[in-house]
Amino acid sequence: MRHYKYLLMRRFSQIAILVLYIGANAWGWKILRGDLSASLLMGKIPLADPYAVVQIVVTGATLGMDIILGALIVTLFYGVIGGRAFCSWVCPINMITDTAGWLRRKLKFSEVQKRFYMSRSLRYWILGLSLILSAVMGVAVFELISPVSMAHRGAIFGMGMGGGALVVIFLFDLLVHENGWCGYICPLGASYALISKFSLIRVHHNANKCNDCRDCITVCPEKEVLHMINKSSESVLMGECTNCGRCVDVCKEDALGFSIRSQLKQPKDEE
């Protein structure tokens, strides 16, 4: 059980948040109303997706105070504390892509299939492009195609043809590229990676305990962030780390754990 601690906590968090949103529309609960684009917490605190708000701002729209305040609250929360936790603890797509990734590992597709090359920076290009297009077209363009909001809105207000987008993402992650959507394409995840560059909660690696089994790298959806494994003791400082804690779960040697960010680096002791 110990090896599934953070996985189970994440699933609980993802499902609980989704249920609160669904309950607000279906049964009039007042805890968390709206959806992941913008919501009202406890009927008082506005929350808003900073990326969506930036897209709206570049269209030249005059926005209400509530939504700017909401985006600031969310930015501060992830930027100072949570890191890119949105992707692994809140986003409903994560359950789909995690399943695809798990199935892909079980079926050993990555060992057989020749790697389909995509750059990790593709998402930042899409992020930039979405802002340019939003300004030119006069509408928040990613919000019109975002499978994340389609899935989430669909669960709350009715799915329509949106289910198709979810199947496409599942098949893409399963058949085309490991962690293809979350790790390479999604500009929403990219925006949270930028926001959480300097956040406090980080995975910390203790290289002296590491036996180089590489289980952490196998399960990690953003493998680059674990460049220090078995080399030096330091915090995982890259913003791309989603704080999913899967590496902490699978490490049998206790060489990984959550802690407060530290800039110190200590090379592994020579034995």
Partner 1 sequence: MNTQTPNERRRFFLSIARGIGLSAMGALVWSAYVGEVKAAPLVLRPPGALNENEFIKNCIKCGLCVEACPYDTLNLAKPGDNLPIGTPFFTPRTIPCYMCSDVPCVPVCPSGALSEPSVSNYVKSHAQLDINKARMGLAVIDHESCIATWGIQCDACYRACPLMGQAITIEFSKNERTGKHAFLIPIVHADVCTGCGMCEHACVTQKAAIYVLPRALAMGEVGNHYIKGWDPKDEQRLDTVKKNVPHEFTKTKLSEKSALDSLNDESGL
Query: What residues numbered 21-50 form the site for partner 1, per CB under 8 A?
Result: 24-25, 28, 33-35, 37-40, 46, 48-49
Task: Please tell me whether residue 123 binds partner 1 under the rule CB under 8 A.
Answer: no
| Dihedral angle over CA of 174, 177, 179, 181, nearest 10 | -90
Q: 67-84 burial, b for 16+ CB within 10 Å, e for fewer?
A: bbebbbbbbebbbeebbb
Task: Please tell me whether residue 133 binds partner 1 under the rule CB under 8 A.
Answer: yes
Task: Please tell me whether residue 158 binds partner 1 under the rule CB under 8 A.
Answer: yes
**Minimum distance of partner 1 from residue 113's CB (angstroms):** 22
Task: Give the total of residues touching partner 1 (CB under 8 A).
Answer: 54
Task: Please tell me whether residue 103 binds partner 1 under the rule CB under 8 A.
Answer: no
Q: Which residue, 35 or 222, has its beta carbon nearer to partner 1?
A: 35
Task: Please tell me whether residue 18 binds partner 1 under the rule CB under 8 A.
Answer: no
Task: Please tell me whether residue 180 binds partner 1 under the rule CB under 8 A.
Answer: no
Task: Please tell me whether residue 168 binds partner 1 under the rule CB under 8 A.
Answer: no
At 192, list the tokens.
Answer: 């949270």
**Minimum distance of partner 1 from residue 170's CB (angstroms):** 16
Q: Which residue, 34 or 180, has its beta carbon nearer to partner 1?
A: 34
**Minimum distance of partner 1 from residue 197's CB (angstroms):** 21
Task: Please tell me whether residue 62 binds partner 1 under the rule CB under 8 A.
Answer: yes
For residue 211, the Cα-to-chain-centroid distance in whole angstroms is: 28
Q: Which residue, 49 or 249, has its beta carbon nearer to partner 1?
A: 49
Q: Which residue, 18 or 38, has its beta carbon nearer to partner 1?
A: 38
Residues that bind partner 1 (CB under 8 A): 24-25, 28, 33-35, 37-40, 46, 48-49, 52-53, 56, 59-64, 66-67, 70, 121, 125-126, 128-129, 132-133, 136-141, 143-145, 149-150, 153-154, 156-162, 164-165
